[in-house]
Amino acid sequence: MNKLAFLALAGSFAASAPAVAQQAEKVDQAMIAKIKDEGLNRSKVMETAFYLTDVCGPRLANSEGLQRANQWTKTQLTKWGLVNANIEPWGDFGRGWDIEKSYVAMTKPYYHAMIGAPKAWTPSTSGPIKKQVVYVKAAAETDLDKYKGQLRDKIVITEVTSPPKAGFEPDAKRYTDEELQKMTAATAGPSARPALSDDAMAAYRARIALRGKITEFLMSEGASAVLSNPRGGSDGTFFTSNGAPYAADTKPVLPEIEMAPEDQLRMIRLVEGGIPVEVEMETITKFQTQDLKGYNVIAEIPGTDRKLKSEIVMLGGHLDSWHAATGATDNAAGCAVMMEAVRILKALNVKPKRTIRIALWGEEEEGLHGSKNYVKNHFGDPATMKMLPDHEKLAGYFNLDNGTGKIRGIYLQGNEAVAPIFTAWLQPFADLGATTITPRNTGGTDHLSFDAIGLPGFQFIQDGLDYGTRTHHTNMDTYERLQPDDLKQASVIVASFVYNTAMRDQKLPRKAMPQPKS
């Protein structure tokens, strides 16, 4: 899930009453039982997750890790018997970037190895450096004046916006019955595309603009590097992001490390207390500009019905991640589940009427690029609302990208006509905790790319667990955070929904087509 969307999640609901028609929907209970048996008793979802996280490593957009993951998933899907596996370019993205060394330690007033990681797309230091630290505190551009002439050959530290709090609340939570009932009773939003409030958006833009001004100032003053912590964290856990655009023609920036809050705050307190601080650090990062394209990994289980096999059911999640951990919950979890869903179907040797197509998206974190461009290349352009022939062929798209938590239900995404269908499809999974159909929309991830041109794209409701507190975009989004039982549960539900969509007489109902944007 990308970051702007995550911020907006809580603000994406609005008022309009659902009108859910009740009608009978056939479910192949024998097949569902087989799917449950395969997925719960012979799961490979954690093995897949191990390869995606530990073996492939961090999977930043257009990084070597993402290339490894593209190759591995293509090979693995083929091994399981899927066909037409392809690492499909979606268009131009930008530079590749990888970390080759990252070391940062305080050397005065005493030695202390610190926890941090280079911000994505930031450059190397000029070899190992050891410099005095200056604390630059700027809430506005004019605050920079007092640092003029003070920063040459200095390592600059900046504010920690949210200091850690004592952990009186658990990191991880599941939805309560009451919360799920509220979601069921909620009203749908008018738009499937959530937005930050105007104030929040203005504040966000102002922060970005100020950050740009600070960077220009630090560059012009000759600072050597920046140590920052823009988003807090606690207990050595910090949030990662990019420190420069990924575009090939980007202006230079300084080397910048995103720091654990405890280490950053210690330096800040020392400097503010009049104690000189010195830091030694070495960052080596590598840019790749030979191939600026972005890619999605695609594979299929071909349809078998003469009339329906040209129609498509899609399922997907994004394969890319941030770079300071192995993107376990964001979103190896979703990809492992989607891969497990097609593995289960192949293991059962299903003969779907429609073609089932899995997509593991690239470059989601920078703005859903992989899925948006795939949709544009294959189905239609939301800017012009000119549709391609396959727009008529897509029966449905299912997405998973809200962490490692099990599925509790599904967001209707404003598509009230699917409510009775999904109600019937969820019924066999009530014993596994998945019961909720909410008229609410949700945003922040790749189903929006489909929804934007009127295609039926859905994201499941997942238990939050520690996604918001500990894992989402942090240096601790590692394999340990994955919950095996949750991922198994999600795999069998997704496999069933996909199978049902592939076998249904009709494609899933659609909402009215959106209007062109301008």
Q: What is the token pair recorded at 270?
A: 């020392």
Q: Which stretch binds a second copy (CB under 8 A): 86-94, 355-363, 418-426, 471-479?
A: 471-479
Q: Which of 2, 76, 237, 355 binds a second copy (CB under 8 A)?
A: 237
Q: Which stretch binds a second copy (CB under 8 A): 36-44, 62-70, 183-191, 338-346?
A: 62-70
SS3 for 157? strand
Q: Which of 166, 208, 430, 512 binds a second copy (CB under 8 A)?
A: 166
Q: Which of 91, 164, 245, 302 binds a second copy (CB under 8 A)?
A: 164
Tell me how far CA of residue 11 lies from CA of 129, 201, 426, 443, in angstroms.
44, 12, 27, 10
Taking CB under 8 A as the rule, does residue 465 contact a second copy?
yes
Q: How far apart are CA 451 and CA 397, in angstroms?
A: 9
Q: Within 246-285, which residues bind a second copy (CB under 8 A)? A: 260-262, 265-266, 269-270, 273, 275
Q: How far apart are CA 52 and CA 130, in angstroms?
A: 36
Contacts with 310 (C-beta within 8 Å, 6 or more apart), sequence order? 303, 355, 393
Taking CB under 8 A as the rule, does residue 37 contact a second copy?
no
Q: Which stretch binds a second copy (CB under 8 A): 24-32, 243-251, 368-376, 463-471?
A: 463-471
Q: Which is nearer to a second copy, 111 or 176 (CB)?
A: 111
Q: Which is nearer to a second copy, 91 or 163 (CB)?
A: 163
Strand extents, DSSP E, 394-517: 394-399, 407-411, 436-438, 457-462
Q: Which is nearer to a second copy, 127 or 273 (CB)?
A: 273
Taking CB under 8 A as the rule, does residue 117 contact a second copy?
yes
Q: Which of 167, 212, 276, 484 binds a second copy (CB under 8 A)?
A: 167
**Min dist. Cβ of residue 122 to a second copy (A):** 14
Residue with tokens 């979802």: 45
Q: How far apart are CA 244 and CA 252, in angstroms?
A: 8
Q: What is the 3-state secondary structure (H, E, C) of 44-98?
A: CHHHHHHHHHHHCCCCCCCCHHHHHHHHHHHHHHHHCCCEEEEEEEEEECCCEEE
Total interface residues for a second copy by CB under 8 A: 57
Q: What is the token pair recorded at 416?
A: 């009230």
Q: Within 319-338, which residues bind a second copy (CB under 8 A)? A: 326
Q: Which of 44, 154, 470, 472 binds a second copy (CB under 8 A)?
A: 470
Q: Which is nearer to a second copy, 130 or 211 (CB)?
A: 130
Kindly list the strands in the beta sheet with 155-160, ordered across the sheet, starting from the edge strand earlier in the chain.
112-113, 96-108, 278-288, 129-135, 155-160, 225-229, 256-259, 116-118
Radius of gyration of the chain (CA): 24
Q: How far apart are CA 447 and CA 305, in angstroms?
A: 26
Q: Which is nearer to a second copy, 102 or 423 (CB)?
A: 102
Beta bridge partners of 318: 361
Q: How far apart are CA 42 and CA 39, in angstroms?
A: 6
Q: Within 92-111, which residues bind a second copy (CB under 8 A)? A: 98-103, 105, 109-111
Q: What is the token pair recorded at 353?
A: 């009427």
SS3 for 315? strand
According to DSSP, residue 468 is labeled I
According to DSSP, residue 220 is labeled H
Taking CB under 8 A as the rule, does residue 179 contact a second copy?
no
Q: Which of 13, 72, 204, 479 binds a second copy (CB under 8 A)?
A: 479
Taking CB under 8 A as the rule, does residue 169 contact a second copy?
yes
Taking CB under 8 A as the rule, does residue 484 contact a second copy?
no
**Min dist. Cβ of residue 166 to a second copy (A):** 5
Q: What residues make contact with a second copy under the rule CB under 8 A?
A: 50, 54-55, 57-58, 64-65, 68, 98-103, 105, 109-113, 115, 117, 163-164, 166-173, 234-237, 260-262, 265-266, 269-270, 273, 275, 326, 465-466, 469-470, 475-476, 478-481, 483
